[in-house]
Structure 1
Amino acid sequence: MSAAILVQASTASTSPGDPILNIAIFGAFVAVTMVIVFRASRNNKTASDYYAAGRSFTGGQNGSAIAGDYLSAASFLGIVGAIAINGYDGFLYSIGFLVAWVVALLVVAELLRNTGKFTMGDVLAFRLRQRPVRIAAAISTLVVSFFYLLAQMAGAGGLVSLLLGIDERIGQSVVIAVVGALMILYVLVGGMKGTTWVQIIKAVLLIAGAGVMTVWVLAINGFSFPALLDAAVATTGNPAILEPGLQYGLSDVTRLDFLSLGLALVLGTAALPHVLMRFYTVPTAKEARKSVVWAIWLIGIFYVFTLVLGYGAAALIGPEAIAAAPGGANSAAPLLAFELGGPVLLGIISAVAFATILAVVAGLTITAAASFSHDVYASVIKKGKASPQQEVKVARITVVVIGLVAIVGGIGANGQNVAFLVALAFAVAASANLPTIVYSLFWKGFTTRGALWSMYGGLTTAIVLIALSPVVSGGERSMIPGADFAIFPLSNPGIVSIPLAFLLGWLGSVLERRRESSDKQTEMEVRSLTGVGAEKATAH
């Protein structure tokens, strides 16, 4: 695995620290987590074991795993970089990501755990026509997971490229391919149980590592946050780094873009497939609710750290040096680690970030694979007659396909800020999934046509607007340099696609003459609110 990377590293001189030391620490982390995955895989005997870890985790354990799943490369690499370069406006990502969990706690966590079995498709198929809604749910899950995977792959490329001094795009592409191969191996072997333990360990290491760096940065500034801010202003020569508007207040378009971003962040979490699937790994709805509370505390503490780390990177390194490094803004946290503790701290923090990426992509991949094998293969193609062994086999084949697609997409997205790419995934999730989930749980008049219009309409609108936005073309950091077909002026489509998806769900329902079973609606309402019948339905 390391041979091709070492060839690239040997020709470069831009790596902070010692590339050999960095590779050694990386290898140690991968080896330890791989042992954990193999040990966990010994108990993967049923579909429930593979998809939902046998529902064997407590609320605290699952909350830690949710934090590990959620605190992705966007949280550590992207947000720290965004704050270091854009100051206050970069911290808006942290605020949006955290506030979003209140929506997840109050609206979906307990209700979904009571209603479903493995996937979002289970919830929708409970009271709507099974075949069309399961196909739509699977397509939506696959697309959202793909967008999220792009961000993680781009983060991996930037991070490892920085550590190994790889400036060439070919070398960075090799790095992304290695990450994809490791991801495929994790999920093929460990399933949800192995993935969950990796996420728990990663969450502890990431929060601890960020905490050590935060205390270190504050100690340098006399444990005075105002002194840190003054140092950031002095280094950057730009007092605007402390004020709103450096990124999103430049014009009416950027202000509107910020509103769209905020809408996507706050509403997107409750609709992310890999977050929703975590609620099924606990035995009861009470544990699902407890896991969200745990997650909110852990995630909230971490995002406070990002504020200090972002301004610390601005003060000790400077935005220009960060932007010029391999990986661009995504390199702020590793560069700060090198500035504080030299090659050893750099290697440790970067290995934690690398483990972060591996854990998140593993969670995303198993979610997408479970959705296809459970919702499409087992429920639609085999009409519920597939054995658990067949279902898991199809899931593993799907893992390989998704991994290969993610590698190709990650190479294309390399160089983009990962926090920004994740915001796009949130917008697609909020557009395609959230209206359908909310209507299905709370509106008795919701119909299959409404679900299909909402999911396909929201999904299509979000993707088309992203394709026609400055993200893809027309800008200096667009995915297709030199091209310009950016008709839609905003970088995030949420302000258009999310309300439209809610409207389409309502319109499709009121125009459909065929009503869904009132008995099923009543049963779903009782089960979602009380949990009566839920344990029996999910026991096998």
Structure 2
Amino acid sequence: MPDSLIPEDTAIVNTAVFAVFVLITLIVVYSVSNRGTTSDYFVAGSSFSGAQNGIALSGDFLSAASFLGIAGAIAVHGYDGFLYSIGFLVAWLVNLLLIAERMRNTGRFTMGDVISFRTRQRPVRAAAALSTLVITLVYMIAQMAGAGGLVALLLNVHSGWGQALVIAGVGLIMVFYVLVGGMKGTTWVQIIKATFLLLCVVLITIFLLGKFGYSFSDLLRQAADNNPNGEAIFAPGVQYGISEMSKLDFVSLSLALVLGVGGLPHVLMRFYTVPNAREARNSVVWATWTMVLFYLCTLVIGYGAAALVGTDTILNAPGAENSAAPLLAYEVGGTVILGLVAAVAFATILAVVAGLTLTASASFAHDIYANIIRGGNADSDRVLLVARWTAVGIGLASILGGVLVNGQNIAFLVGLAFAFAASANLPTLLYTLFWTRFNTTGVLFSIYGGLISCLLLVLLSPVVSGSPDSILPDVDFALFPLKNPGIVSIPVSFLLGFIGTFLHKGPSERERQAELEVRSLTGITPRNG
């Protein structure tokens, strides 16, 4: 390959393919949009089937971290990179067995509907909205970082200002999706994106194996030859076995990945886009099997990138680890396959960020504006206006954050978002749905305790300072040795929720517990709530 890794004329093809895809999805978003009521805008009137919602869930969940970050992590670190995939898949069992059905039966639009059902509305909805905004912003920043690295490689944009402009462009297109299409338009974008993503990884996997006579063993042997770690990439320990602290870091990351999905706001909100609890369960089943196929292909693609491209070439490319899949696509199929990967990767970022933006705007408009500021008496049109302005604000904040962390491995950054979700949301949800005594004080202790402990540990970790790959590499105030805080912040949230429940001094809040239990198990609504 030339010095720039990918020929200059390829950038024109990539840009054209991406532009066509954006145009098609914008037409789809506009044609299917139904924005008449808050229900239409936030949850598409609960009109999607389990299969449709499951594919959209996979499109919402299979982010740039999955497509670019995990493939790169496998190419560089081997087995340790594939552990991300295992964590993401196992996590869906929590949703299937504990969350999906009960969430669908007890809420309308947001997580705040569920946890405020039998507690004091104002403080609990405020805490739920803040948690949603923080988690969403961290997740979106990771996607924007992926956009910068991807564009640097595919369009040969190497200057910092050039990448920042592209990140801004992606953010503005995403905001347009949300403003025009609402949940219905965003869902169809995610369905289209998931379909193209699966076709893309399956196609690359078939072409790749064909280069080795469909012998996976030959592919693995060449991968080991082109990786400085040799055959060690086939066993745990390349990334997380260097020291006892790195092993502990892996345990912390695993906890965040497995428990984080059950607390991700944009995943939870998707359970309201189907008509009943049965379809919510079907959504999880469809999403899980879709992701099984995707991650198996990603395993082949990751090792294939090490075999054909080489670890050194990947790490020296713009975007570093995130460039493994695009470089492999060019090596396997030339300009055409690379153009396909470019379009799918951009679509992945756009679709995921659009879903995140919609979730954040819905939480602020529904929980903060409609139920706290307006006391539940807000006009539907006014709520929609607030949601749209919130989408614009969240989009601008994510663009700024994406510029600041551009170049970081996005699978790793998403792991931090999972840690926030597992620390703040999951303990609160499980206590609400399964513990009769849980109350307002417990909710506030659990959410704020999880958020604050997670944020402090991240700020004082090597993620921010103290190491060459930190966000601020020239300073060192890293007092917490682990890169992922889940092993500390998740138990802290569970413990504080338990302590706060027993410290509650107000009147008993068990009056609506029986109603919550009936609704969560059956979907029957004895009275409006």
Q: TM-score, normalised by structure 1?
A: 0.96
CA–CA distance in 2 between the matches of 1:176 and 1:15? 20
Alignment of 1:17-96 (within 5 A): 18-41=10-33, 43-96=34-87
Percent same amino acid at aligned positions?
60
Matches within 5 A, 1:83-482: 83-237=74-228, 238-482=230-474
- What residue in structure 2 maps to residue 484 of structure 1? 476
Aligned residues of 1:128 and 1:516 also touching (Cα < 8 A): no
- How far apart are the structure 1 equivalents of 2:124 and 2:502? 17
Would you say the 8 A contact 1:151–1:410 is kept in 2? Answer: yes
- Give the Å deviation of 1:514: 2.6
Q: 2:401 is paired with a residue of what secondary structure?
A: helix
How much does 1:95 deviate? Answer: 0.2
- Which amino acid is 1:490 matched to? L
Query: Is residue 207–residue 333 contact of structure 2 (8 Å, CA) maintained in 1?
Result: no
Separation in 2, partners of 1:423, 1:333: 20
Q: Distance in 2 between matches of 1:350 and 1:481?
A: 31
**Structure 1 residue 522 corresponds to structure 2 residue 501:** no
1-structure distance, mates of 2:333, 2:73: 22
- Cα distance in 2 for residues equivalent to 1:128 and 1:300: 38
Mapped partners of 1:53, 1:59: distance in 2: 14
For residue 166 of structure 1, give the secondary structure of its aligned residue in structure 2: coil
Question: For structure 1, which runs of at least 5 residues remain unmatched after alignment?
Answer: 1-11
Compare 254-263 and 476-485 and name the one that shifted more: 476-485
Work out whether residues 462 and 478 of structure 2, in 8 Å CA contact, stay in contact via their aligned partners in 1. Answer: yes
- C-alpha separation between the residues in 2 aligned to 1:516 and 1:93? 43
Q: Partners in 2 of 1:302 and 1:143 — Cα distance? A: 28
Report the residue type matching 2:116 in the other structure: A
The amino acid across from 1:235 in the alignment is: N
CA distance in 1, matches of 2:477, 2:292: 39
**CA distances 1:140-178 after superposition (whole Å, capped 9, x unpaired):** 000000000011001111111101112211111111111
Whole-angstrom CA distance in 1 between matches of 2:77 and 2:398: 29
Per the alignment, in what secondary structure is the counterpart of residue 518 of structure 1?
A: coil
Give the whole-Å Cα distance in 2 for the aligned partners of 1:515 and 1:436: 20
Q: Is the 8 A contact 2:439 2:509 kept in 1?
A: no
Offset at 1:511? 1.4
Runs ≥4 in structure 1, deviation > 6 angstroms?
none
Provide the rounded CA distance (Å) in 1 between the counterparts of 2:43 and 2:457: 34
How far 1:513 sits from its partner (Å)?
2.9
Answer whether contact 1:166 1:326 (CA < 8 A) is retained: no
Q: Count residues with an aligned counterpart.
A: 525
Partner of 1:450, secondary structure, is: helix
- Kept in 2, the 8 Å contact 1:473–1:479? The answer is yes
Q: After superposition, what is the alpha-carbon deviation per residue over 1:342-392, rounded to whole angstroms, capped at 9, x for unaligned?
A: 111101111111001000000000000000000000000000111111100
SS of 1:127's partner is: coil
| Number of the residue aligned with 1:5 | none
Write the distance in 1 (CA, Å) between the matches of 2:183 and 2:15. Answer: 27
Post-superposition shift, 1:13? 4.5
Shift of 1:484: 1.0
AA aligned to 2:210 is: A
1:6 equivalent in structure 2: none
Letter paired with 1:127: R
SS at match of 1:389: helix
The structural deviation recorded for 1:477 is: 1.1
CA distance in 1, matches of 2:226, 2:399: 37
Shift of 1:14: 5.0
State the alpha-carbon separation in 1 of the partners of residues 528 and 470 from structure 2: 47
Contact kept? 2:95, 2:262, Cα under 8 Å: yes
Q: CA deviation at 1:214?
A: 0.8
Task: Give, as a single letter, the amino acid of the residue that structure 2 aligns with 1:400.
Answer: V
> Within 1, Cα distance between the matches of 2:299 and 2:6?
25
In the TM superposition, residue 515 of structure 1 has moved relative to its aligned partner by 4.5
Does the 8 Å CA contact 1:69/1:363 hold for their aligned counterparts?
A: yes
Give the superposition deviation at 1:519.
2.9
- Structure 1 residue 516, shift from structure 2 partner: 3.7
Equivalent residues in 2 for 1:2-21, closer than 5 Å: 13=4, 15-16=6-7, 18-21=10-13
Distance in 1, matches of 2:6 and 2:448, equals 45
Which residue of 490, 497, 505 corresponds with 2:489? Answer: 497
Judge conservation of contact 2:259–2:422 (CA < 8 Å) in 1.
Answer: yes
Deviations 1:429-456 (A, max 9, x none): 1001001000000001101001001100
Does structure 2 retain, via aligned residues, the 8 Å contact 1:330–1:418? yes
SS in 2 for 1:241: helix
State the distance in 2 between where 1:166 and 1:20 align.
Answer: 12
Contact 2:437 2:510 in 1 (8 A): no
CA RMSD of aligned residues (A): 1.2
Conserved? CA contact 2:266–2:356, under 8 Å: yes
Secondary structure in 2 aligned to 1:126?
coil
Of 511-520 and 241-250, the range deviating more from structure 2: 511-520
1:215: how far off?
Answer: 1.2
**Structure 1 counterpart of 2:232, one-letter code:** A
Which deviates more from structure 2 when the two are superposed, residues 213-222 or residues 499-508?
213-222
Task: Report what 1:3 is aligned to.
Answer: none
Question: What's the TM-score once normalised by structure 2's chain length?
Answer: 0.98
CA distance in 2, matches of 1:490, 1:169: 29
Q: Contact 1:14 / 1:166 at 8 angstroms: preserved in 2? A: no
Output the amino acid matched with 1:125: S
Report SS of the residue matched to 2:511: helix
Counterpart secondary structure, 1:406:
helix
